[in-house]
Amino acid sequence: MRTVLARVSVALLLAGAATACGSDGTGGGGDAGAGGARVVVTTNILGDVVRTIVGDGATVDVIMPPGSNPHDFAPSAKQAAAMRQADVLVVNGRRFEEGLIDTIEAAEADGTVVVTATDAVPGDGARATDPHVFTDPVLMQAVVEHLETTLADDVPGLDTAAFHQRVDDYRAALADLDAEVTDTLAAVPADRRVLVTNHQVLGFFADRYGFDVLGVVIPGGTTLAEPSAADLVDLADRIAAAGVPAIFAETSAPARLADALAKEGADVEVVELYTESLGEPGSEAGTYLDMVRTNAERIAAALGGSG
């Protein structure tokens, strides 16, 4: 019952937010919310989260439209201006928005308050610089707590009982989502909990749900790098030796390298996941909660679960 109530609550919040906020990817929007405050968010994943918890407390504009590759997205002049003029600019951080870094720094230099979501999640080793915190819904609870504190402090008129209740509702929905993902992935046998991804994107997910990352097609945490031929051959050999049935690519980035690598192995499927961008509104990955749920279902189905 708690899961149903949480989903209904979040759905109602989303409906309210949609009527109060501007269009994705435009840097523009409708009338400002309470106190005329305006929040601008770089990625559409964080944009969905911020819109849900802010509700009608402020106008929330999202820079990147659905399907964007955050590693190479460059803002228009209008979007750059919106980032500089915002009361608060919410960013992912850890160089996730590679094409926006100069604009973010310019906005901060102009006096815009910049809130970095990944500041809520300290990391060790490679995780300390991994920007893909959002692949773990438990860590996203810490992100939401961070957003609650900073937005309440820095967005005029937002520090209200209604805002804090929306945050509590969303944190409950994230807890329910974690339980649901755990149940979905339970069908994947221990010896098939091996991930090969287009680039290093599912590290936090793997840590949370008991998977090993065998390798990545594109080295590092960005889609802008290029693997060597020797790297591809080595990874293909490891995939064949481990009997990996699927390679996971991003819907927001070209999968040509994953496709090429799949041809090196036997019966290796390339499965697209919504790892760095939401899908279109109303789609199976139109919200952050739906994105995580859909990815878990696809991983379970590809690796031998029931999906």
Average pLDDT, the chain: 85
Strands, DSSP E only, in 53-192? 59-62, 88-91, 113-116
The pLDDT value recorded for residue 189 is 95
> What is the tens place of the pLDDT at every residue in 54-93?
999 999 999 999 999 998 899 999 999 999 999 999 999 9
The pLDDT value recorded for residue 228 is 72
Task: Give the residue among 250, 255, 265, 248 at the shortest CA–CA distance from 303.
Answer: 248
Q: Which regions in the chain score pLDDT beneath 70?
A: 1-35, 219-227, 254, 257, 263-267, 305-307
CA–CA gap between residue 17 and residue 60 (Å, rounded): 8
The pLDDT value recorded for residue 14 is 41
The pLDDT value recorded for residue 198 is 83
The pLDDT value recorded for residue 7 is 41
Amino acid identity for residue 259 in this structure: D
Burial of 262 (0-12, 13-18, 19+ CB in 10 A): buried
Cβ(244)–Cβ(236) below 8 Å: no
The pLDDT value recorded for residue 17 is 40
What's the token pair of residue 189? 């046998």
Task: Give the residue among 33, 41, 46, 98 at the shortest CA–CA distance from 69.
Answer: 98
Cβ(238)–Cβ(230) below 8 Å: no
Cβ(244)–Cβ(196) below 8 Å: yes
What's the token pair of residue 182? 């755990």
Write the Ramachandran bin of 290: left for phi over 0, alpha for psi from -120 to 50, otherwise beta: alpha
The pLDDT value recorded for residue 27 is 41
The pLDDT value recorded for residue 269 is 85
Cβ(51)–Cβ(60) below 8 Å: yes
State pTM to two decimals. Answer: 0.85
The pLDDT value recorded for residue 8 is 36
